[in-house]
Structure 1
């Protein structure tokens, strides 16, 4: 009886992991949102968020999880952003240190601005967990559009992220 139980758990885990690795979220193709949210981390996220902003697909941007030592002028220089754009449209969020913190910081930021739809820009392998945390932190009725930055994650990254995603889902079930 126990062997069957553990075999069923192993099969479910394997199917879930296969789905997680094969069906990674994709970039969003078109549409405008009020804001773009970019958690710091893997390469390409901030650049893609800035592209969304430059294309007029969002009117403002939150970069959440920025190191406390990074100043707006340094950020602007590193990413080739004018100080005018920094002042009008880009907020650097310094409160978050992890994905759950990114979601909490984002929830506070969008509430302060009355934002009802946002575009989440993060790496394809991180999108599911980031979105899950965000959905459990923001007010009901806020629309989230996922806009994944494509990458070539290693099996190690996928393995770790799959387990973090499962833990996030379970934790959010317990919080409800």
Structure 2
């Protein structure tokens, strides 16, 4: 009985990991939203968020989880953002340190800025957990478009992120 239960749990875990690793989220269609949200941490995320702004698919952008040492002028110089663009349209969020606090920082910014639709830009392997945490933190009337940045993650990265997603799911079951 125990062997069968363990084998069943292992099979469910293995199939879940296969699904997670093989069918990574994809970039979004050309859908306009009020804002674009970019959690820091992965290559190509900020560039894709800025591209969304440049194409007029969002009016403003929050970069969540920026290191407290980074000054807006340094950010603008690194990503070639004009001062006018920084002033009108780009907000640097310094409160977040992980995916869960990215979601909390984003939710507060969304409420403060009366955002009803947003585009979440993050790496493909990070999208499911980031979107899950964001969905838990946002008001119910906010629509989220998932816009994954394609990557080539290592098996180790996928393994770790899959387990973080499972932990997030279990924490959600217990109200954490």
TM over 0.5: yes
Name 2:8's counterpart in structure 1: 8
- SS, match of residue 145 in structure 2: strand
- SS, match of residue 56 in structure 2: coil
Compute the displacement of 1:28 (Å): 0.5
TM-score when normalising by structure 2: 0.99
Equivalent residues, number: 176
Compute the displacement of 1:90 (Å): 0.3
Q: Does 1:33 align with 2:28?
A: no
Compute the displacement of 1:174 (Å): 1.3
- SS, match of residue 126 in structure 1: helix
- SS, match of residue 42 in structure 2: coil
Name 1:133's counterpart in structure 2: 133
Q: Distance in 1 between matches of 2:7 and 2:141?
A: 40
Name 2:85's counterpart in structure 1: 85
Name 1:74's counterpart in structure 2: 74
- SS, match of residue 171 in structure 2: helix
Compute the displacement of 1:172 (Å): 1.5
Q: Distance in 2 between matches of 1:160 and 1:75?
A: 29
Q: Distance in 2 between matches of 1:173 and 1:2?
A: 24
TM-score when normalising by structure 1: 0.99
Name 1:100's counterpart in structure 2: 100
Structure 2: stretches of 5+ with no match in the other structure: none
Q: Distance in 1 between matches of 2:90 and 2:39?
A: 13
- SS, match of residue 106 in structure 2: helix
Compute the displacement of 1:170 (Å): 1.2
- SS, match of residue 38 in structure 1: strand
